[in-house]
Structure 1
Amino acid sequence: MGHQAQHGTDDTEELLAAHRQLWCHALGYVKSMALKCALDLRIPDTLDRCGGSATLGELLAASEIPASNHDYLRRVMRTLTAMRIFAVSHDPAKADDAAAISYQLTPASRLLVSSSSSSSVDDAAGAAAAGASKENTTTPSILPNIAHLVRPNTISLLFSMGEWMKDESAASVSLYETVHRQGMWACVEDDAANRASFYESMDADTRLVMQAVVRRCPHVFDGIKSLVDVGGGRGTAAAAIVAAFPHIQRCTVMDLPHVVAEAPAGTAGLSFHGGDMFEHIPSADALMLKWILHDWDEDKCIKIMERCKEAIGGKEAGGKVIIIDTVLGSRADDDDDKTCRETYVLDLHILSFVNGAEREEHEWRRIFLAAGFRDYKITHTRGIPSIIEMQIIFGAGQATGKYAMASNEPLGTISDVTEGAGASEEPCPVGTTASGSAGASPSHSGDVAGSSYGSYAKKRRLSDEELGIMTGLTGAVNKLAEAVQAPVVVQTTDVHPDLYQICMSIPGFTDEELMTCLTYLLDNKRQGDGFVKMEPKHRVLWLRQHLAKI
């Protein structure tokens, strides 16, 4: 039945619980400010320099707080330990709080240790001496990102949200622009300090997110030789990809000309391209958009995705779009439910700044369909971002991210066939083709090596009968290849160009109901063509009848 309003209750415990809940939410800003206080006092860095743990007295000394104010710091730290930003322990053998109470770093506060902390620098030097890179052994710092989020200018504009919503021009003028008399992107461009804070914030977040992506989802970049990072800023994400995947031979960072002009010089393996993603995106095997689409309304997102489709549509082997962004909802367990609640807060944050949106899956699907993509694959992480993949099949054909059969496996490749005429019956080591090159994948070679055939496979001459069969198969395969390449087959769906607009603009139905009907019409071409030709009142009747059958 959902959450229904209760106009009265005699349950005192329920009233008190509701009272506590409201106080908790109304005072939520205090938690943000307690976190800002810890950052201003550089508490995470102090704990890091002390080996991850420090007493209250050590924190007082490092923060230059008078001993007489030790109780104030203790109370701030008590709140932050309740928030699980820090951990706390108490030595009952010591009577003095300054010596008896000690605090430790947690996984959350380790992310707040600055990259210049002496302990972090020592760890990186030790890793380098051991032959490992700093990025592979240390926790990335997102201190600039969190510090940016708790700045006064970031928080103050939210006081005007209610009044802004009453303004009929709110759809075209963001809350940020209403308060500051200038849009956020213009403010970033015009104010050097604001610009530095913004890009340092984005770079810090990118290092963490990309470390997780390349470690946990490396398959996303399989088979890619060229990639364009659309809206890639100063190249932080692209640099992480090039370092992790040397098989990517060409990696281009695309952003507005004035943004790429400030990119750091001499970034190995990267090139920079100044341009407008609404007008043109350079062609590549794959395009990546990290935290890009949530900055724009639906119409602009559709336009960006149309440019993406143009950029990868000419790839015979299949171009790919990789989106790293938030997908609201669709999470099951308790931990993921917390992530869902947090992403709803993030949605209001992005709304306040640029009139953007964090989207539910059906909203993403609507954008993809409108831009000409047919299918997609979503990989959730335990954090806020998810990875959405779409892949073009046969160049100008439809796109898919579920790889045509809703499989999590990547598209297969055709194995080389070596004709046997004149071949000897010498053993051929497993893992090589008949020509002697390393042709089998590790998974394939593992399957063969574990079979009853042992470590060798034999090559032999084919009989005349077998040669006849192979010749026939070769001819059939050639005809199939010709058919696949024929234009009539490339246009795999031939969907009526007006179907999406006609279906999704019918009044009286929810977006979810219209998407359900549109999906059916896309999968049934004759029904879709008939629907387009109907009178408007007959379309409404058809929708009602179809939804009643579900």
Structure 2
Amino acid sequence: MAPLLAEVSPQDLLVALAELHSHVIGYMKSMALKCAVDLGIPDVVLRRGGAATLADIATETAVHPAKVVDLQRLMELLSTTGMFTVADTSGTVVYKLTTAWRLLLGTLNLSPMVPVLVSPPVVSSFFSMGDWLKSEPAAAGSLFELAHGCSIFEMTKSDATLNRMLNDCMAADSKLFVQLIILDKDHIFRGFSSLVDVIASAFPRIKCTVLDLPQVISQSVTGDGKVHFITGDMFESIPPANAVFLKNVLHDWDDKDCVKILQRCKEAIPSRNAGGKVIIMDMVIGSTTGNEKISEMEALRNLYMMHASGVERGENEWKKIFSEAGFSNDYKIMPVMGPYSVIEIYP
């Protein structure tokens, strides 16, 4: 036995081997989840009152009879990793939904997130991570750019499917988290006559203007006149408003670009005495302690943002870019759900 292995007990070696396999083929968890969403498995279980047998799932998802045994393997992985619970009812295995599925079912759900985050363009970009880490920043651009020759936003101009998936993902995320803000922190939007990018139906008195890229605006539909859509570039100018709402925008950009965006925001809003402010919804990592799952999520999200040269930030990192953009240092951070927070900054 090799010298290093000789120093390890068989039991510890087995645990190490299991840990190694968990990392090397851990992507199977993502693929299994995508498959379950694609097949509509959680919907089947929900329709059956929250519990379904393998036969129920196979029948309602039109799985080929010869591949039911393979469907069972899929369900075993999803159960082992906590997406389903398993119960034995009179000798028949029954799969039940866990809390995690609540985020992927119903009118406010994050299911559009799954096909985007595990799409071939996104996943394949991480095969270039080692090369990107060794490359000159200016030459490589983002990790996605190194792998594909363009940013993900540039790719959406020519890839209609990716454009639709990305827009659906961001829309679903906005619907869920903005509802959380409205339910718990509606005071944030009181007193405004105009606001960029917020759910207008909850505040009919507010004039809402959405600034976005052409390929996003082209897919936006509104018939009630509550929301006005404008094609533009936030690095150039932002429409005048009492407040600017940036949801999951700044984490897509490095510090230098964030400062530019915030400077344009500062130009668009009135003075603080007149009620001007910028409302940011983004993660504040490190704000929730003592939970390993949340810490792992923060680390995963932070590494994932590498594909766009973005970053998830802690409070000190946020404070730095606020200061460089010319905002006051008495910002407010209001947690919405764990590290997901609303930040108010003032000119």
TM-score by length of 1: 0.58
Give the equivalent residue in structure 2 for 1:197: 165
* Contact in 1 for aligned 2:85/2:97 (Cα 8 Å): yes
Q: Is 2:285 aligned against 1:285?
A: no
- The CA deviation at 1:198 is 1.3
Alignment gaps of 5+ in structure 1 = 1-6, 95-99, 114-137, 230-237, 392-398, 400-550
Relative contact order, higher structure (CA 8 A, sep 6+): 2
- Residues 1:76 and 1:186: Cα distance change in structure 2 (over 3 Å): same
- Residues 1:8 and 1:57: Cα distance change in structure 2 (over 3 Å): closer
* Contact in 2 for aligned 1:226/1:284 (Cα 8 Å): yes
Q: Is 2:179 aligned against 1:242?
A: no
Q: Is 2:281 aligned against 1:324?
A: yes
- The CA deviation at 1:301 is 0.6
Give the equivalent residue in structure 2 for 1:302: 259
Residue identity over aligned pairs, in percent, reads 42
In the TM superposition, what whole-angstrom CA distance separates every residue of 1:197-243 from its partner, at most 9, and x where no partner exists? 111121122222222221122222232332112xxxxxxxx2xx322
Give the equivalent residue in structure 2 for 1:112: 104
- Residues 1:143 and 1:9: Cα distance change in structure 2 (over 3 Å): same
Alpha-carbon separation, structure 2, partners of 1:205 and 1:302? 24
Give the equivalent residue in structure 1 for 2:36: 38
Query: Larger Cα Rg: Structure 1 or Structure 2?
Result: 1
Alpha-carbon separation, structure 1, partners of 2:6 and 2:194? 63
- The CA deviation at 1:81 is 1.6
* Contact in 1 for aligned 2:200/2:226 (Cα 8 Å): yes
Specify the SS of the correspondent of 2:239.
coil
- Residues 1:368 and 1:339: Cα distance change in structure 2 (over 3 Å): same
* Contact in 2 for aligned 1:110/1:139 (Cα 8 Å): no
Alpha-carbon separation, structure 2, partners of 1:340 and 1:381? 17
- Residues 1:382 and 1:316: Cα distance change in structure 2 (over 3 Å): closer
**Equivalent residues in 2 for 1:86-485 (5 A)?**
86-91=84-89, 93-94=90-91, 100-113=92-105, 139-169=107-137, 173-229=141-197, 238=198, 241-246=199-204, 248-314=205-271, 316-334=273-291, 337-352=292-307, 354-373=308-327, 374-383=329-338, 385-391=340-346, 399=347
Aligned residues: 342
* Contact in 1 for aligned 2:53/2:94 (Cα 8 Å): yes
The one-letter amino acid paired with 2:342 is I
* Contact in 1 for aligned 2:34/2:115 (Cα 8 Å): yes
* Contact in 1 for aligned 2:132/2:140 (Cα 8 Å): no
Alpha-carbon separation, structure 2, partners of 1:9 and 1:375? 58
In the TM superposition, what whole-angstrom CA distance separates every residue of 1:488-519 from its partner, at most 9, and x where no partner exists? xxxxxxxxxxxxxxxxxxxxxxxxxxxxxxxx
The one-letter amino acid paired with 2:98 is T
- The CA deviation at 1:189 is 1.0
In the TM superposition, what whole-angstrom CA distance separates every residue of 1:53-80 from its partner, at most 9, and x where no partner exists? 2111111111223444333222211221
* Contact in 1 for aligned 2:128/2:143 (Cα 8 Å): yes
- The CA deviation at 1:292 is 0.7
- Residues 1:275 and 1:41: Cα distance change in structure 2 (over 3 Å): closer
- The CA deviation at 1:259 is 3.3
Alpha-carbon separation, structure 1, partners of 2:295 and 2:184? 21
The one-letter amino acid paired with 2:200 is V
Specify the SS of the correspondent of 1:104.
strand
Specify the SS of the correspondent of 1:280.
coil
TM-score by length of 2: 0.90
- The CA deviation at 1:258 is 4.9
Alpha-carbon separation, structure 1, partners of 2:121 and 2:60? 28
* Contact in 2 for aligned 1:34/1:76 (Cα 8 Å): yes
Alpha-carbon separation, structure 1, partners of 2:61 and 2:219? 35
- The CA deviation at 1:384 is 5.2
**Equivalent residues in 2 for 1:508-527 (5 A)?**
none
- The CA deviation at 1:9 is 9.2
Instruction: Find the partner of 1:72 among 61, 70, 73.
Output: 70
In the TM superposition, what whole-angstrom CA distance separates every residue of 1:394-451 from its partner, at most 9, and x where no partner exists? xxxxx4xxxxxxxxxxxxxxxxxxxxxxxxxxxxxxxxxxxxxxxxxxxxxxxxxxxx
The one-letter amino acid paired with 1:84 is G
Alpha-carbon separation, structure 2, partners of 1:60 and 1:8? 45
